[in-house]
Amino acid sequence: AQSVTQLDSHVSVSEGTPVLLRCNYSSSYSPSLFWYVQHPNKGLQLLLKYTSAATLVKGINGFEAEFKKSETSFHLTKPSAHMSDAAEYFCVVSGSPIPYSGGGADGLTFGKGTHLIIQP
Amino acid sequence: AAGVIQSPRHLIKEKRETATLKCYPIPRHDTVYWYQQGPGQDPQFLISFYEKMQSDKGSIPDRFSAQQFSDYHSELNMSSLELGDSALYFCASSSTNRGREQFFGPGTRLTVL
């Protein structure tokens, strides 16, 4: 079974300062990992994904994440926070191993979420 | 680009009533997933369908059932509704040919009174 742990339920940063959202994963095989963002009363938007092609993954809106197998981590960072980044962020692991070998369409397992607050 | 469509967007029901949520996947996507997100909670996987067959099952209550039709749209049927069923229900779709990345719809907000 796979799981993810988001180490902070809330993170508060000032606008223009770096953002770090922490995530650790547990998986019995090489996982697919994702970060999703959810703005208030909105749906889930994919920020970026790791599927073994490169350990440093660049996503939308200036976000990036680094897969570190030795630390079982997949932390999300952004050099400079913007007010529009205020939202809930979910670290997610896929049940399907990589490379994808066919078979069942496994559901995603979400972390508990990190609420990002941007101070003006 | 076309996205996942869910209907209705909002639904209000009384306890013990039934509800049907619909999901229309992105064209040429063969897999549909359903998730439930309670207030202040993370989304929980309920069930998935691949090529109209149930593929994976998560924490879906026995009162709920779902199916995928020949046109690949899916419906989540919920019976004997309880107050605790009030949540945001997301549908996602993916394509086997494109690595199964899941694209989420906007969700249906179900309120049970």
One of 3.40.109.10, 3.40.50.1370, 2.60.40.10, 3.90.550.10 is the CATH number of B5-112, namely 2.60.40.10
Rama region for A58: left / alpha / beta (φ>0; ψ in -120 to 50; rest): beta
pLDDT grade, residue A104 (50/70/90)? low
Biggest alpha carbon distance in chain A? 48
Give the domain range for residue A11. 3-74+82-119
Ordered by start, the domain boundaries in chain B are 5-112
What is the mean pLDDT of the segment spanning A84-112?
A: 77
Q: Mutate which of A44, A49, A51, A57 to test chain B, going by most B C-beta atoms within 10 A?
A: A44
Please determine, for residue A24, whether its predicted confidence score (pLDDT) is greater than 50. yes
> What confidence tens digit (pLDDT) does each residue in B46-77 have?
999 998 999 888 889 999 999 999 999 999 99
Cβ distance B100 to A42 less than 8 Å, yes or no, reads: no
Contacts of B101 in chain A (CB under 8 A): 46, 49
What's the angle, vertex CA A68, arms to CA A39 and CA B96, rounded to 5? 65
What is the mean pLDDT of the segment spanning B7-11?
A: 97
How many distinct structural domains can be found in chain A? 1
**CATH number for position A36:** 2.60.40.10
Q: What is the pLDDT of residue A105?
A: 60
Percentage of chain A modeled with pLDDT above 70: 91
CA distance A116 to A20: 10
Contacts of B102 in chain A (CB under 8 A): 108
**What letters, b where the CB count within 10 A reaches 16 and e where it falls short, cover B71-105?**
ebbbbbebeebeeebbbbbbbbbbbeeeebebbbb
CA distance A26 to A35: 15
